[in-house]
Amino acid sequence: MKVLVAVKRVVDANVKVRVKADESDVELSNVKMSINPFCEIAVEAALQLKESGQASEVIAVSVGPDVCQEQLRTALAMGADRAVLIKTGNDLEPLAIAKLLYTVTQREEPGIVLLGKQSIDGDNNQTGQMLSALMGSAQGTFASQINVVGDWVNVIREVDGGLETRSLRLPAVITADLRLNEPRYASLPNIMKAKKKPLEVIDASDLGVDIAPRLKVIKVSAPPERKAGIRVNSVQELVEKLKNEAGVI
């Protein structure tokens, strides 16, 4: 069984993002970029499936400009066998990404497609769900545990207020939540080896998919700055302020 794992290039989680002066987007020039943390967890999950003998090959795929090869190389250094980049300069919405990934699943016919539950830049939490709809396959989102049993995969999902276990028939789409695993470090020798692993680049325009945007970004703005707190002298004063000034009780 092949496992396809999607990785997205996003601003590194340690970087404090800043809105551009013209409010068109956040500033991305000269900012450190990384694999989306949830995608990294998905890669680790795929590698564990291979190491436990349940998967035969792990294929990493990304959609975006040429520089996304850096993130694919990271996935290869972690242990993926090969990588595919669907190259496009366009800023894509989840539906377009799902459609492009769908073309790869048609070609590769993976038993499991792993994705992060959402990316930390767009926070859409849609691509996995849309991909499973396009594939007509089962979906197990927010996975905190994955267990393949024959032609089925049991997924423990993190739902509001607890955990839910579902059995999905393969092929299935699974999106990774935070507690699924802790991704490994890529070691130096593996980074060297990753440079020689196959990385195929496909032009998105050759795939005959409509990736035109459905949405228009009107404005990006920073959240309002938090006001400084004040110190109250007594419980009575606190209650009074919560009631009359803040209006929360």
Q: Does 185 bind another protein (CB under 8 A)?
A: yes
Residue in 18, 107, 169, 243 binding another protein, rule: CB under 8 A = 18
For 59-95, the three-class secondary structure string (H helix, E strand, C coil) is EEEEEECHHHHHHHHHHHHHCCCEEEEEECCCCCCHH
Are 59 and 82 contacting, i.e. CB atoms less than 8 angstroms apart? yes
Nearer to another protein, 11 or 138 (CB): 11
Shortest Cβ distance from residue 189 to another protein (Å)?
6
- The 3-state DSSP class for residue 40 equals helix
Q: Does 220 bind another protein (CB under 8 A)?
A: no
Which has the closest alpha carbon to 242: 226, 230, 224?
230
Nearer to another protein, 195 or 243 (CB): 195
- The 3-state DSSP class for residue 110 equals coil
Q: Does 108 bind another protein (CB under 8 A)?
A: no
Residue in 53, 162, 189, 229 binding another protein, rule: CB under 8 A = 189
Q: Does 188 bind another protein (CB under 8 A)?
A: yes
Ranges of H-type helices in the chain: 37-51, 69-78, 94-108, 127-135, 188-194, 235-244
**Region 192-211 residues binding another protein, contact defined as CB under 8 A:** 192
Nearer to another protein, 32 or 214 (CB): 32
Binding site for another protein (CB under 8 A): 12, 14-16, 18, 21, 29-32, 182-185, 187-189, 191-192
